[in-house]
Copies of this chain bind each other. A is one copy, B any other.
Amino acid sequence: MLRKESIATEIFKNISLSQKEIELIEPKFHKVLVQKSEIILNVGEVVYDQYYVASGCLRIFYRDASGKEHTVQFAIADWWLSDYTAFFTTSKAIMTIECIQPSVLYRVSKKDMNFLYKNVPQTETFIRLKLEKAYAFFQKRILGTLYKTTKERYLDFVLTYPDIEKMVKNYHIASYLGVTTETLSRIRKEIIEN
């Protein structure tokens, strides 16, 4: 068996796994193919699973009382995705996950993650490090909303995530930055003119 073909080593990059450990991991991850505009999680559904994104692009958004959508996060290759607030507590989703580009995902349940944490301890360390990165990422984003102008935050986004920018609509970016499409349009115009 070629190691290259193992989804376990693709997902848990840079950690060393024995053949036996790989065989524990493999059956827990289920390949899922999703098409553009497909919804893989609806508000109100109990969240048992999270997804590893092998390729494509998705977003998770919240729909407020007035019907406006607010994109909380995008996910591209090698990112993990779920309504984590609900996933961590196995409760009902308050957000929707929508597929933006044809994607290949690997679904894994919380139950199986806990099995892996217990039986392949490196996976828990791996996920802890992922969570640490997410922490730093979120803090940076919050800090950005506190002191940066919308123009700066837009440029940050475009420079930091050029791959995402190519795959999503401007109104997705606007809803991620927390501004209207009109405002984003004017900011883009301003940038082009200068």
Is the beta-carbon distance between A146 and B62 smaller than 8 angstroms?
yes
Is the beta-carbon distance between B140 and A141 smaller than 8 angstroms?
no
A63 to chain B, nearest CB (A): 9
B84, B127, B135, B142: the one contacting A145 at CB < 8 Å is B142
Q: Is A85 an interface residue (CB 8 A)?
A: yes
Contacting residues of chain A (139-158) with chain B, CB-CB under 8 angstroms: 139-143, 145-147
Count of identical protomers in the assembly:
2
Contacting residues of chain A (29-81) with chain B, CB-CB under 8 angstroms: 62, 64, 68, 70, 72-73
Q: Is A178 an interface residue (CB 8 A)?
A: yes
A122 to chain B, nearest CB (A): 11
Q: How far is the CA of A136 from the CA of B145 in the complex (A)?
A: 18
Q: Which residues of B contact A178 (CB under 8 A)?
A: 145-147
B132, B133, B141, B143: the one contacting A70 at CB < 8 Å is B143
Is the beta-carbon distance between A147 and B84 smaller than 8 angstroms?
no
Q: Which residues of B contact A147 (CB under 8 A)?
A: 62, 64, 68, 70, 178
Q: Is A131 an interface residue (CB 8 A)?
A: yes
Q: Is A88 an interface residue (CB 8 A)?
A: yes
